[in-house]
Structure 1
Amino acid sequence: MSLLDRQEHRTGGGAEGLQDDARLLHALRPHLRAFERADTAPGLLELIGDARFVLIGEASHGTHEFYLERARLTRRLITEHGCTAVVAEADWPDALRVDRYVRGRSDDVDAEAALAGFERFPTWMWRNTVMREFVEWLREHNRSAPASRQVGFFGMDLYSMYASIRAVVAHLQQVDPQAAARARARYGCLDHRGGEDSQAYGYAAAFGAVPSCEDQAIEQLLEMNRRTGATLGTDRDEAFYAQQNARLVRNAEEYYRTLFRGRVSSWNLRDTHMVQTLAALDKHLHTTRGAAPRMAVWAHNSHLGDASATEMGQQGEWNVGQLVRERWGRESVAIGLSTYHGSVTAASEWDGPAERKRVRDGLPGSFEQLFHDSGMARLWLPLRDQPQVAQLLQRERLQRAIGVIYQPDTERHSHYFHTRLPGQFDALLHIDRTHALQPLVPERRWHDGEGEVPETWPSGL
């Protein structure tokens, strides 16, 4: 069905809007590039160039093709372009368990065991078949790589407050039992007031039911900073890992207190923490390996696309993509991924079971609909240093974002926001039909759900 033939099925804009989209697509078509795999997409690696921070997004947390193409592109960056760190929208302690496995420093027998540390909802986000294959590949790569070229796997999120507390204390118990006792005393404030329930602590502290533990978390971070600065040699990695856990506790304590005061401030704190983690890793890896590192950063489009070019920015939110651009400029590149329809792994409510859900067709007036109308199954659009594209796409359009929850009945309200694509990303990869990510943890409702199995599933790296 052509663009004009769909007039009666559209809402908002009518025939005039359809004709505008048809003219836009006609003008945009020379810039659209077909691809089969992200790692061989014509011109994409040239666009990335020498960027040290390669931000690779996803329009959902449960799409097989997003994870697969991101892993493929990252493998190419590792093997041919000197990437030595993968930093994911994941909790630091759980990701560190994977890092120890891929660098031959753990007792985990395989990648599935190494990924088992991701026990918090949503488990499928990192415990899935694509991640299992990528982690095994990373371990094999590191076995033959010199120490300076081994690739680490790290997390930059901040939900693991109590797991990070345990990690700080465990580290100190090994190197300085007296320091461990001081840490227990400080962090005891959070244990007594939260009972290892981060949100319960945050709610109570936000509304004055209990005093906050901010001062204690800051004191412990300052002590860890001093210790790490004085640590040399082979112990420096472990000292840094513990320092990062202490930084996470300090930021998570503030995040959970702020969570009940307003979405904007808590979002900003979370993404600021992620960028602080990138900066700390950048400094640590540069110091310990003698050269500025190159990182592949994996997270949702809403974190990695520059918020200042979106409706989020108009509401006072910033994000990783914006902060990275402001700090590192053209040393960074941001790549978004999108889809028009298919299936997705998501829950119906927070902490609910994984389901395999049908993804509805992209809404009229959305970027998803525009790219679908090209008739190309897979396309990518360069956006950096493309003045003609910037002119064509200067007006805002809708863009879909599916997180760990998908609510198709309220899709416009729950999953769409306006963006200016050329300001948001440096490149966009669109895969018109996509499929649900397969969890490693058995999920009955997932197997009973909708959707098709892709030809490359469950492997394909």
Structure 2
Amino acid sequence: MIGDARVVGLGEATHGSHEFFTMKQRVFRYLVEEKGFTTFALEASWSAGLLIDAYVQGEAEGDGDARRLVRRTLAGSPWQRREFADLIEWMRAYNRSHPQRPVHFVGTDLGFPGIGEQPFAEVTAYVRKAAPASLSSVEQLYAGLRPFDDAIGYLTRVPLPQRQRNADLAQQALDLVTAAGKDGDAQYEWAVQHARNIARTFAFSTMRADDAPSVTAAQLLRDRAMADNTLWWQRRLGGKVLLSAHNGHIGYRSSAPALYPTTQGSHLRDALGDGYVSIGFTFGGGSFLTGTDPFAGNWQSTTVPPATLGMNEYLLDRVRPRDYYLDLRQAPPAARTWLDTAHPTYDAGTTFSRDPLPTLALGAGYDVLIHLHRVRAAEKL
């Protein structure tokens, strides 16, 4: 079904169901061992990805085991779970036995819940070497920005004019770094990538949470940035990428179009054409993690009953008695008509509302669908 795709988006209908997470490890292992994939990309911060990849490559021995690493790098996120620690540990073990063809881990998101120190340090280290005359300017621009470790506190406590000024400072630093070298130099391209992620994080942080157009504009920036980060990694390192994120990011449509009018998946399809394949998840009922204050780590289990008449999952549950997957592009006309019609669906991001349920046309949202009849909440470390 994925053919020769260079990037495969594998979604999740919730941010915290055991079966979605374990299925991702099974799919990734298959793609690595049978289809030549080399990267697992996650809807997590760029900075977290750098630290996790160092562990996967056999570095950062002081981090102990994968569970300790996940507690530190994915703290407060729905992926601070045993299933992702198991995936990361498998990747590290794989690299020990395949040193000539290692796999990588990358975070595709902006700097949330924080940027940390490493991207700033990488940028200034490059400028010190390649453009020493600009070093003092870059250090001065970053002086009040680093480290950036509490995005939620920053958004809620720092006045908007100061956030806008900080975004301008981060952009000025990016401009200086961009002018310090040229494409083709690996160190230059890494420095620009780090500086770009810093600048976009601060640009996103000018969002006004009480203003709907501002929130939508920020989410447009975020999905664009996640797509660009994925494409940059794939082109810079080569190989093929399994991209793990919520259905609303890897698909071509979101169940919340007012908030996410253009998705990461749409950007990737525009850039790669058939080189990108989107795989969505649905589930007929069960439990998952959600919360009123998820970025503080307050994820709690929510349980929903089996899907009811009229929902996408109600009909999907009746196709066959076992979990299954299907290529939506091959659907016959009668099924295509139903797939291209929006129906209520189970879809939970950081929050979940069932009154009313969101709606989505599955056929317009994904190329491939995996349907699970029942799921349970992901496991704590």
TM-score, normalised via structure 1 length? 0.73
Q: Partners of 1:341 and 1:224 in 2: how far apart?
A: 50
Q: Judge which range, 206-215 or 49-58, deviates more.
A: 206-215
TM-superposition CA deviations, 1:66-105 (whole Å, max 9, x none): 0011110111000111101111000111121110111112
Residues 237-316 of structure 1 mapped to structure 2, 5 A cutoff: 240-260=189-209, 261-262=211-212, 263-286=215-238, 293-307=239-253, 310=254, 312-313=256-257
Q: 1:372 offset after TM fit, Å?
A: 2.0
Question: Which of the residues 10, 22, 37 maps onto 1:83?
Answer: 37
Question: Which of the residues 402, 405, 411 maps onto 2:351?
Answer: 405
Partner of 1:369: 314
Q: 1:72 to 1:423 in 2, by over 3 A?
A: same
Percentage identity across aligned positions?
Answer: 25
Task: Say whether the 8 Å CA contact 1:205–1:212 is kept in structure 2.
Answer: no
Q: Partners of 1:137 and 1:228 in 2: how far apart?
A: 37
Secondary structure of the 1:153 match is: strand
Q: Partners of 2:21 and 2:297 in 1: how far apart?
A: 22
Q: 1:231 offset after TM fit, Å?
A: 7.7
Secondary structure of the 2:106 match is: strand
Residues 69-148 of structure 1 mapped to structure 2, 5 A cutoff: 69-107=23-61, 108-122=63-77, 125-147=78-100
TM-superposition CA deviations, 1:89-138 (whole Å, max 9, x none): 0011112111011111222332223323325422xx22222112211111
Amino acid paired to 1:221: L
Q: Partners of 2:87 and 2:225 in 1: how far apart?
A: 26
Q: 1:258 offset after TM fit, Å?
A: 2.6
Secondary structure of the 1:390 match is: helix
CA RMSD in angstroms comes to: 2.8
Residues 385-400 of structure 1 mapped to structure 2, 5 A cutoff: 385-388=330-333, 389-400=335-346
Secondary structure of the 2:205 match is: helix
Q: 1:259 offset after TM fit, Å?
A: 4.3
Partner of 1:433: 374
Q: Partners of 2:245 and 2:30 in 1: how far apart?
A: 18
Q: 5+ unaligned residues in a row in structure 2: which ranges? A: none
Secondary structure of the 2:348 match is: coil
Q: 1:96 to 1:190 in 2, by over 3 A?
A: closer
Secondary structure of the 2:111 match is: coil
Amino acid paired to 2:354: E
Task: Say whether the 8 Å CA contact 2:47–2:111 is kept in structure 1.
Answer: no
Question: Which of the residues 174, 177, 187 maps onto 1:224?
Answer: 177
Secondary structure of the 2:369 match is: strand
Amino acid paired to 1:127: Q
Q: Partners of 1:339 and 1:109 in 2: how far apart?
A: 36
Secondary structure of the 2:107 match is: strand
Amino acid paired to 2:362: L
Q: 1:162 offset after TM fit, Å?
A: 5.0
TM-superposition CA deviations, 1:360-381 (whole Å, max 9, x none): 3324311112112335231222
Task: Say whether the 8 Å CA contact 2:122–2:194 is kept in structure 1.
Answer: no
Q: Partners of 1:52 and 1:296 in 2: how far apart?
A: 9
Question: Which of the residues 227, 238, 261 maps onto 1:317?
Answer: 261
Q: Partners of 1:202 and 1:396 in 2: how far apart?
A: 35
Count the aligned residue pairs: 371
Q: 1:361 to 1:143 in 2, by over 3 A?
A: same
Q: Partners of 1:332 and 1:211 in 2: how far apart?
A: 35
Amino acid paired to 1:380: Y
Q: Judge which range, 206-215 or 250-259, deviates more.
A: 206-215
Amino acid paired to 2:23: E
Q: Judge which range, 263-272 or 103-112, deviates more.
A: 103-112
Amino acid paired to 2:169: Q
Partner of 2:8: 54
Partner of 2:122: 171
Secondary structure of the 2:284 match is: strand
Task: Answer yes or no: is 1:157 the counterpart of 2:113.
Answer: no
Q: 1:228 offset after TM fit, Å?
A: 6.3
Larger radius of gyration: 1
TM-score, normalised via structure 2 length? 0.87
Q: Partners of 1:66 and 1:200 in 2: how far apart?
A: 30
TM-superposition CA deviations, 1:391-440 (whole Å, max 9, x none): 3423221222112334xxx4133xx3222211111111111111110121
Q: 1:101 to 1:190 in 2, by over 3 A?
A: closer
Q: Partners of 2:255 and 2:302 in 1: how far apart?
A: 27
TM-superposition CA deviations, 1:302-360 (whole Å, max 9, x none): 111112xx554477711111111111111111111111112223324343523233233
Secondary structure of the 2:301 match is: strand
Partner of 1:358: 303
Task: Say whether the 8 Å CA contact 1:204–1:210 is kept in structure 2.
Answer: no
Q: Partners of 1:377 and 1:385 in 2: how far apart?
A: 20
Q: Judge which range, 203-212 or 382-391, deviates more.
A: 203-212
Partner of 1:42: none
Partner of 2:279: 335
